[in-house]
């Protein structure tokens, strides 16, 4: 089955082609065009600007991904589409484009929840990925099964969400907890801004933290022992702001200090996440732990979770780093494993969409 994925929920315009059979996926192409450099100048995303960029990019991105996969629109079996959550203007670009293709070529649409899509990046096994971007050499596709066993504990950790879920089988998600205020990515972004780094802050903090010394600062780990699976990161930003102001007053905010603060920020966020995931994995006898979303690209988080999972004897999965942030391959993957095609007439954008089918315990 050949699926064209389309993702336009925020500032990335992405289209991908996957080929799925026997519960395995080969990623034939995945093109991502991002307007983040434009948003870096304004310090964050301005929705109207993001939507305008989506309109410029959507058709060239689809064309390029089809060319790369050597697939014609008439050859695809379905269109996998992000219909929410996200910015309404951005979402509408993907939704209306998908509906038009569906109408003209008579192909069904599989609507995908963006957050569920992030989790399904874990089924795009690294060895099956070829020609993900221009730096990756084109090789013969080599397919390996992902070997993800259920029940799994899945974490979506991005700029807008820190959601911890119990996944009992494909498409079956139970929300265990989420953030009560800022998401983990937001905490990275806000701290980065305080330290003088551009948006998005996560990669900048990670880079700077490499030069940091671990003993100098220690920030609070909110809700770490709360007994539930909720997160809170807004206090972290306040603690760092206080520290930065004190250091500025005594003119001690040099590059080394910035790296030390970056490392302490990363350690606090990673520590809370690792502890909450481990607790959930133990409580629900999980066989696998899956992370996803932009923050899942963080090397320190990946390494600490890998070590912890080994101790717990639970399999650990994280998508390839370039598939942690928004992309259409993960949307197509989710559609393949949860194949519920509908007519274009039934598709509408839903900016507020959540893991609706997952009542909180």
Binding site for ligand KG4 (CB under 6 A): 10, 158-160, 185, 188-189, 200-203, 206, 293-295, 297-298, 325-326
Picked from ligand KG4, Zn ion, none, the partner binding residue 265 (CB below 5 to 8 A depending on kind) is none
Q: Whole-number minimum distance, CB 246 to ligand KG4, in Å?
A: 25
Cβ neighbours of residue 178 closer than 8 Å, sequence gap 6 or more: 161, 162, 163, 164, 230, 231
Q: Whole-number minimum distance, CB 353 to ligand KG4, in Å?
A: 13
Residue 298 or 333: the one with the smaller Cβ distance to ligand KG4 is 298
Q: Whole-number minimum distance, CB 13 to Zn ion, in Å?
A: 13
CA neighbor of 324 nearest in space, from 305, 304, 298: 298
Cβ neighbours of residue 91 closer than 8 Å, sequence gap 6 or more: 8, 9, 82, 83, 84, 349, 350, 351
Region for 227 from its dihedrals, namely left if φ exceeds 0, alpha if ψ lies in -120 to 50, beta otherwise: left
Other beta carbons within 10 angstroms of residue 360's beta carbon come to 12
Residue 117 or 177: the one with the smaller Cβ distance to Zn ion is 117
Q: Which two tokens stand for residue 98?
A: 């998908």
Q: Whole-number minimum distance, CB 123 to ligand KG4, in Å?
A: 17
Other beta carbons within 10 angstroms of residue 307's beta carbon come to 12
Q: Whole-number minimum distance, CB 323 to ligand KG4, in Å?
A: 10
158 binds Zn ion (CB under 5 A): yes
Other beta carbons within 10 angstroms of residue 224's beta carbon come to 16
Q: Which two tokens stand for residue 96?
A: 């209306």
Picked from ligand KG4, Zn ion, none, the partner binding residue 319 (CB below 5 to 8 A depending on kind) is none
Picked from Zn ion, ligand KG4, none, the partner binding residue 200 (CB below 5 to 8 A depending on kind) is ligand KG4
Residue 188 or 217: the one with the smaller Cβ distance to ligand KG4 is 188
Q: CA-to-CA distance for 236 and 220, rounded, in angstroms? A: 6
CA neighbor of 117 nearest in space, from 173, 71, 34, 201: 173
Picked from ligand KG4, Zn ion, none, the partner binding residue 202 (CB below 5 to 8 A depending on kind) is ligand KG4
Q: CA-to-CA distance for 267 and 84, rounded, in angstroms? A: 31
Residue 252 or 306: the one with the smaller Cβ distance to ligand KG4 is 306
Q: Whole-number minimum distance, CB 232 to ligand KG4, in Å?
A: 16
Q: Whole-number minimum distance, CB 324 to ligand KG4, in Å?
A: 7
Window 210 to 229, contacts with Zn ion (CB under 5 A):
none
82 binds Zn ion (CB under 5 A): no
Picked from ligand KG4, Zn ion, none, the partner binding residue 298 (CB below 5 to 8 A depending on kind) is ligand KG4
**Residue 61 · residue 31 · CB < 8 Å:** yes
Element (H, E) at 350: none
CA neighbor of 327 nearest in space, from 13, 54, 3: 13
Site string for Zn ion, 296-335 (x = CB under 5 A): ------------------------------x---------
Q: Please, how many CA atoms are within 13 Å of residue 331, restricted to the half-sphere of its CB?
A: 34
34 binds Zn ion (CB under 5 A): no
Tokens 């590059």 belong to residue: 255
Q: Strand pairing partners for 82?
A: 112
Picked from Zn ion, ligand KG4, none, the partner binding residue 111 (CB below 5 to 8 A depending on kind) is none
Picked from ligand KG4, Zn ion, none, the partner binding residue 89 (CB below 5 to 8 A depending on kind) is none
Q: Which residue is nearest to Zn ion (CB)?
A: 326
Binding region for Zn ion (CB under 5 A): 158, 326
């Amino acid at each position: 089955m050949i699926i064209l994925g389309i993702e336009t929920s925020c500032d990335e315009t992405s289209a991908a082609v996957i080929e799925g059979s026997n519960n395995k996926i080969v990623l034939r192409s995945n093109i991502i065009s991002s307007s983040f450099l434009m948003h870096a100048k304004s310090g964050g995303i301005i929705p109207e600007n993001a939507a305008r960029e989506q309109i410029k990019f959507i058709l060239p991105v689809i064309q390029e991904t089809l060319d790369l996969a050597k697939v014609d629109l008439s050859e695809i079996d379905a269109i996998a589409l992000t219909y929410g959550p996200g910015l309404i203007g951005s979402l509408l670009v993907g939704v209306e484009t998908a509906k038009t293709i569906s109408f003209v070529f008579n192909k069904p649409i599989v609507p995908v929840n963006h957050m569920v899509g992030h989790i399904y990046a874990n089924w795009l096994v690294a060895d099956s990925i070829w020609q993900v971007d221009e730096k990756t050499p084109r090789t013969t596709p080599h397919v390996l099964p992902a070997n993800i066993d259920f029940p799994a504990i899945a974490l979506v950790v991005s700029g807008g969400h820190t959601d911890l879920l119990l996944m009992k089988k494909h498409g079956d998600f139970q929300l265990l907890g989420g953030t009560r205020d800022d998401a983990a990515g937001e905490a990275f972004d806000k701290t980065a801004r305080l330290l003088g780094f551009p948006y998005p802050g996560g990669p900048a903090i990670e880079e700077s933290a490499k030069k940091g010394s671990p003993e100098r600062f220690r920030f609070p780990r909110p809700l770490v022992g709360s007994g539930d699976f909720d997160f809170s990161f807004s206090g972290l930003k306040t603690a760092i702001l206080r520290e930065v102001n004190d250091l500025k007053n005594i003119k001690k905010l040099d590059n080394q200090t910035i790296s030390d603060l970056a490392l302490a920020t990363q350690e606090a966020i990673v520590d809370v996440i690792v502890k909450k995931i481990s607790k959930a994995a133990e409580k629900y006898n999980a066989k696998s732990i899956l992370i996803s979303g932009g923050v899942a690209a963080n090397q320190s988080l990946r390494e600490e979770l890998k070590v912890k999972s080994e101790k717990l004897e639970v399999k650990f999965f994280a998508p390839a780093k370039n598939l942690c942030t928004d992309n259409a391959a993960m949307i197509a993957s989710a559609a393949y494993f949860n194949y519920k095609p509908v007519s274009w007439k039934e598709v509408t954008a839903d900016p507020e969409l959540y893991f609706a089918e997952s009542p909180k315990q």
